[in-house]
Amino acid sequence: MNYCQYCAAPLVLKIPEGEDRERYCCEECDTVFYQNPKNVVGTLPVYQDKVLLCRRAIEPRYGKWTLPAGFMENGETCIEGAIRETAEEAGAKVHVKEDSLYTLTSYKHINQVHFYFRVELASLDFAPGIESLEARLFRESEIPWDHIAFTVVNITLKHYFKDCKNQHFPVRMFDVTYSNKKIKRTLVSES
Ligand SMILES: [Zn+2]
pLDDT number for residue 1: 83
Q: 190 CA distance to ligand 1 centroid (A)? A: 45
Q: Please list the residues that pair with 116 across neighbouring strands.
A: 42, 103
Q: 25 CA distance to ligand 1 centroid (A)? A: 8
pLDDT values of the chain reduced to their tens digit, one per residue, 191 residues: 899 999 999 999 999 999 999 999 999 999 999 999 999 999 999 999 999 999 999 999 999 999 999 999 999 999 999 999 999 999 999 999 999 999 999 999 999 999 999 999 999 999 999 999 999 999 999 999 999 999 999 999 999 999 999 999 999 999 999 999 999 999 999 99
Q: 3 CA distance to ligand 1 centroid (A)? A: 8
- Which residue ranges form the domains of the chain, and what is each CATH number? 1-35 (2.20.70.10), 38-190 (3.90.79.10)
pLDDT number for residue 178: 94
Q: 31 CA distance to ligand 1 centroid (A)? A: 6
Q: 26 CA distance to ligand 1 centroid (A)? A: 5
Q: 22 CA distance to ligand 1 centroid (A)? A: 17
pLDDT number for residue 164: 97
Q: 1 CA distance to ligand 1 centroid (A)? A: 12
Q: Which helix (H) or strand (E) holds 166?
A: helix 151-166
pLDDT number for residue 147: 98
The pLDDT tens digits of the residues spanning 2-38 come to: 999 999 999 999 999 999 999 999 999 999 999 999 9
Q: 10 CA distance to ligand 1 centroid (A)? A: 8
* Alpha carbon distance 124, 106 (integer Å): 32
Q: Which amino acid is at 53?
A: L
Q: 18 CA distance to ligand 1 centroid (A)? A: 20
Q: 11 CA distance to ligand 1 centroid (A)? A: 8
Nearest to 69 by CA among 129, 110, 2: 129
Q: 34 CA distance to ligand 1 centroid (A)? A: 13
Q: 29 CA distance to ligand 1 centroid (A)? A: 4
Q: 45 CA distance to ligand 1 centroid (A)? A: 45
Nearest to 54 by CA among 44, 63, 65, 46: 65
* Alpha carbon distance 147, 150 (integer Å): 9
